[in-house]
């Protein structure tokens, strides 16, 4: 009888975290409860107010809403408000130390539905009126569906001694403490919180994803300068810096967001070093100097996925669980929230329901695909770290003579940068022998011959 642990009239759902993972779960929970004709109470707990400016009101990210997510939101009738949209993105500019090319959507004439937003209410120094926060917009959306937003930190939760009993949730900051019982606890607490380790020590098998520290900042520029220099393009850099895995500048209305993801934890020094690079300085106004004060943060990004993110009456999702490697984390949070909420309402909230309805399919969809993603990123690392190879790629995309190769590379790079299609699909296209022989400045066969000769000499 306990095996199913079904949600019913009067069930209480406590969501820890009001970022996208938490809001999306609340959205789907409201929808599936309505479809099932049951009345449940859904509460989101998060102390952070996204109406604040700067890092304390922000879930720190580049703020690019992928096209898949945009479409998914539209299907759910969540239409991102105009006041949240900082810029509509049309292309990605791929920039090496010497060359650059603007990549476009592989389908000619298709205008991508990619937009940029601020997760909080903009950078610390910004002077706009009102509230432009994307995360706050999502919270307001679910509030309209009847979800309650509680401005509190969840200190802890305790699994019941007896199978089937509710979970005890403990809230409050400092010495203040309040307790209540929930029929389902949703861990949407992200990876920038001590909650991950706490849940990891609870003994039900959850092991948090491994993370690295990324570095980002907001640079204020005039709208005219952004329009003229960046336009509606996200800039992505291959500057041969071995410590960086990914470097981008994302244009907003009157700011640009600089994002650096490294092989290891990054610091402010990596950011300063990047901003001083001639290829980056050239994009800034004449005589531009790094400002003394700018909005900057160090935030973590998951680089693996969690183990066992569920127990009876508990499910963990979003960054703290499983997401696409290095890309479109908000879209992953959306997909995983949908899968886990569907499972909770259709199959119940037991560990076995979440295992079969959420975690196994999620691993199939995202984790296995990440394997191809990691291989593609390694290829990309190799090309980006070699000045000549990186330049050669750009020249090939620009080539007016060999348009087939140009559109093949454009498609691969576009899909890698936007996260538009699964990594496996990109990998298969990239493994075309014709393309490899065009991209490499040497014959792959002779390279393999040389490599095996060298290794037999070493032996």
Ligand X SMILES: Cc1cc2nc3c(=O)[nH]c(=O)nc-3n(C[C@H](O)[C@H](O)[C@H](O)COP(=O)(O)OP(=O)(O)OC[C@H]3O[C@@H](n4cnc5c(N)ncnc54)[C@H](O)[C@@H]3O)c2cc1C
Q: Which residues bind ligand X (CB under 6 A)?
A: 16-22, 45-48, 59-64, 66, 153-154, 188-190, 192-193, 195, 214, 216, 259, 261, 299, 301, 318-319, 323, 328-331, 333
Min CB(432)–ligand X separation in Å: 29
Min CB(36)–ligand X separation in Å: 25
Burial class (CB in 10 A: 0-12, 13-18, 19+), 341: buried
Min CB(21)–ligand X separation in Å: 3
DSSP secondary structure letters along 2-19: TTT----TT-EEEEE--S
Min CB(407)–ligand X separation in Å: 25
Query: Measured at CB, which residue is nearest to ligand X?
Result: 329
With respect to ligand X, which residue has the nearer C-beta, 69 or 426?
Answer: 69
User: With contact defined as beta carbons under 8 Å apart, do 65 and 330 qualify?
Assistant: yes
Min CB(309)–ligand X separation in Å: 11
Six token digits for residue 269: 């020094």
Specify the 3-state DSSP secondary structure of 132. Answer: coil
Closest CA to 220 of 180, 252, 265, 185: 252
With respect to ligand X, which residue has the nearer C-beta, 133 or 343?
Answer: 133
Sequence-distant (6+) residues with CB within 8 A of 332 are: 318, 322, 323, 324, 366
With respect to ligand X, which residue has the nearer C-beta, 190 or 348?
Answer: 190
Compute the half-sphere exposure of residue 451: CA atoms within 13 Å on the CB side of its CA. 7
Continuous segment of H or E residues that includes residue 352: helix 351-354
Radius of gyration over every alpha carbon of the chain, rounded to an integer in angstroms: 23
Q: Are strands 91-96 and 100-103 parallel, antiparallel or unpaired?
A: antiparallel
Residues 281 and 274: their CA atoms lie apart, in Å, by: 9
Strand partners, 170: 156, 179
Continuous segment of H or E residues that includes residue 331: helix 329-346
With respect to ligand X, which residue has the nearer C-beta, 44 or 226?
Answer: 44
Min CB(316)–ligand X separation in Å: 9
With respect to ligand X, which residue has the nearer C-beta, 350 or 420?
Answer: 420
Min CB(9)–ligand X separation in Å: 27
With respect to ligand X, which residue has the nearer C-beta, 118 or 350?
Answer: 118
User: With contact defined as beta carbons under 8 Å apart, do 67 and 88 qualify?
Assistant: no
Residues 344 and 265: their CA atoms lie apart, in Å, by: 36
Min CB(130)–ligand X separation in Å: 21
With respect to ligand X, which residue has the nearer C-beta, 247 or 397?
Answer: 247
Min CB(59)–ligand X separation in Å: 4
How distant is the alpha carbon of residue 431 from its chain centre? 26
Residues 434 and 431: their CA atoms lie apart, in Å, by: 9
Min CB(256)–ligand X separation in Å: 13
With respect to ligand X, which residue has the nearer C-beta, 303 or 355?
Answer: 303
Q: Are strands 314-316 and 184-187 parallel, antiparallel or unpaired?
A: parallel
Closest CA to 24 of 291, 340, 355: 340
Compute the half-sphere exposure of residue 128: CA atoms within 13 Å on the CB side of its CA. 22
User: With contact defined as beta carbons under 8 Å apart, do 394 and 383 qualify?
Assistant: no
Burial class (CB in 10 A: 0-12, 13-18, 19+), 168: middle
Q: Please report, for the chain, how many H helices and E strands are present, in that order.
A: 16, 19
With respect to ligand X, which residue has the nearer C-beta, 232 or 407?
Answer: 232
With respect to ligand X, which residue has the nearer C-beta, 64 or 239?
Answer: 64
With respect to ligand X, which residue has the nearer C-beta, 188 or 390?
Answer: 188
Min CB(13)–ligand X separation in Å: 14
């Amino acid at each position: 009888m306990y095996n199913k642990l079904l949600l019913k009239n009067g069930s209480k759902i406590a969501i820890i975290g009001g970022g996208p993972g938490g809001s999306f779960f609340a959205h789907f929970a409201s929808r599936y409860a309505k479809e099932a004709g049951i009345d449940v109470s859904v509460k989101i707990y998060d102390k952070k107010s996204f109406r604040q400016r700067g890092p304390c009101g922000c879930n720190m990210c580049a703020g690019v809403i992928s096209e898949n997510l945009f479409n998914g939101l539209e299907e759910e009738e969540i239409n991102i408000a105009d006041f949240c949209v900082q810029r509509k993105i049309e292309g990605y500019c791929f920039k090496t130390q010497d060359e650059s090319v603007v990549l476009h959507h592989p389908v000619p004439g298709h205008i991508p539905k990619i937009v940029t937003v601020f997760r909080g209410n903009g950078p610390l120094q910004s002077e706009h009126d009102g509230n432009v926060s994307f995360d706050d917009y999502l919270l307001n959306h679910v509030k309209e569906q009847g979800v309650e937003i509680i401005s509190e930190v969840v200190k802890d939760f305790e699994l019941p001694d007896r199978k089937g009993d509710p979970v005890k949730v403990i809230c409050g900051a400092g010495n203040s403490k309040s307790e209540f019982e929930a029929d389902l606890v949703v861990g949407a607490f992200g990876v920038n919180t001590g909650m991950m380790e706490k849940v990891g020590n609870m003994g039900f098998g959850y092991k948090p994803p491994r993370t690295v520290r990324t570095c980002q900042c907001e640079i204020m520029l005039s709208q005219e300068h952004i329009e003229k220099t960046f336009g509606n393009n996200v800039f992505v850099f291959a500057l041969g810096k071995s410590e960086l895995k990914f470097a981008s500048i994302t244009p907003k209305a009157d700011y640009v967001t600089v994002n650096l993801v490294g092989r290891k934890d990054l610091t402010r020094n990596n950011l300063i070093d990047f901003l001083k690079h001639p290829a980056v300085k050239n994009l800034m106004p004449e005589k531009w100097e790094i400002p003394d004060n700018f909005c900057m943060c160090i935030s973590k990004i998951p680089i693996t996925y969690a183990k066992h993110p569920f127990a009876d009456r508990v499910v963990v999702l979003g960054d703290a669980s499983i997401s696409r490697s290095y890309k479109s984390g908000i879209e992953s949070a959306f997909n995983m929230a949908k899968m886990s909420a569907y499972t909770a309402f259709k199959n119940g909230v037991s560990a076995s329901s979440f295992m079969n309805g959420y975690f196994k399919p999620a691993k199939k969809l995202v984790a296995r695909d990440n394997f191809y993603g990691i291989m593609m990123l390694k290829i990309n690392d190799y090309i980006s770290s070699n000045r000549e190879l990186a330049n050669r790629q750009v020249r090939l995309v620009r080539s007016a003579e060999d348009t087939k190769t140009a559109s093949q590379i454009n498609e691969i790079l576009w899909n890698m940068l936007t996260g538009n299609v699964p990594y496996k699909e990109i990998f298969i296209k990239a493994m075309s022998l014709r393309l490899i022989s065009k991209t490499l400045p040497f014959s792959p066969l002779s390279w393999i011959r040389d490599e095996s000769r060298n290794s037999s000499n070493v032996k």
